[in-house]
Amino acid sequence: MPDDTKTREALLEELAGMDQKILDLAKTVTKYQRLAEAWRDLWEQFAAIIEAFDGFIYICSQDYEVEFMNQRFIDRTGYYPLGQKCYKALHDLEGVCPWCVNQRVFKGETVRWEVHSPKDQHWYYVVNTPIKHPDGTMSKMAMIQDITERKEMEKALKLAEGRYRRIFEHAVVGIYQSSADGRFLSVNPAMAQIFGYGSPEEMLAAVADISRQLYADPRRRDDYCQILRETGFIKGFEAQMYRQDGSRIQVAINARAVKDEEGEVQYYEGFVQDVTDRHQE
């Protein structure tokens, strides 16, 4: 009988020990479940960020093989080229892109640059970043945005600036920009010629106070500024002015005030004509 009692006590202790082991195991399982749920939530957040990016993302190996593409890039490519060479999938090339920066990236450098794709003739801004894996291998991640519209706008702006520059340089009337406090910001060759200067640069360097150095009556400059402040433009405004050699000429001015969003004058710009001959008739 005593032996039976001992056996029951030992069995109860063993069962209690098993209960504790089961409880510990349940805690471990719960811990890993929570960890798995946390990783799943983290991955979902990461995937949401990737897909929210307004551009293309892909990852490739050191062997130029595509390891990942976001959905935007898959849509642009037309399929998911997993394992295919990036230069073929992205640009329809049979060999490594001549502009490829993989060597720099796999040395640990982040490279930013622009590329014109022969596949769709679009311009892209690319940020290439090295990715280091726990096993020591590396991949390259590229984040790409289509900047074709911006490049076209820049080209159009450059053409417009070129046309304006040619008009500015070859106009037969004086063209100028001046600050509200009476300094020239720019003058064209015709403007310099009207006032007897050899070049726009010479006139800009010589005239520091338009009111006192050019106007025969400085009060006319005050009238000019007041009209521009009140109406924003002026047409046929005449004044007697000095040339570089001290001789006087009569000029007619058409101008406007360039203002900021608050209505403050930033500068004046306009056209000047020498009308001296008309007054001498």
Residues 274 and 193 in one domain: yes
* Structural domain range at position 223: 171-280
The pLDDT tens digits of the residues spanning 173-187 come to: 999 999 999 999 999
Is the pLDDT assigned to residue 98 strictly greater than 60?
yes
Q: Where are the alpha helices (DSSP H) in the chain?
A: 2-52, 71-77, 86-91, 102-105, 148-170, 189-194, 200-206, 210-213, 218-231, 276-280
Domain boundary pick from 148, 182, 214: 148
pLDDT given at position 42 = 58
pLDDT given at position 18 = 65
Residue 99 in domain: yes
Residues 132 and 214 in one domain: no
Residue 156 in domain: no
Give the model's confidence band at 35: pLDDT under 50 very low, under 70 low, under 90 confident, else very high. low
Is the pLDDT assigned to residue 148 strictly greater than 70?
yes
Percent of the chain with pLDDT over 70: 81
The count of structural domains within the chain is 2
Residues 202 and 247 in one domain: yes
Residues 104 and 144 in one domain: yes
pLDDT given at position 29 = 65
Residue 182 in domain: yes
Residues 144 and 227 in one domain: no
Residues 194 and 253 in one domain: yes
CATH classification of the domain holding 180 = 3.30.450.20
Domain boundary pick from 82, 115, 148: 148
pLDDT given at position 20 = 63
Give the pTM. 0.56
Q: What is the mean pLDDT of residues 78-89?
A: 91
Residues 177 and 268 in one domain: yes
Q: What is the mean pLDDT of residues 124-137?
A: 90
The pLDDT tens digits of the residues spanning 223-281 come to: 999 999 899 999 999 999 999 999 999 999 999 999 888 888 899 999 999 999 887 65
Q: How many angstroms separate the CA atoms of 103 and 109, rounded? A: 9
The pLDDT tens digits of the residues spanning 200-213 come to: 999 999 999 999 99
pLDDT given at position 182 = 93
Residue 209 in domain: yes
Structure-token match 């403007």, residue found: 191
DSSP 55: S
Residues 141 and 200 in one domain: no
Residues 176 and 131 in one domain: no
Residues 107 and 177 in one domain: no
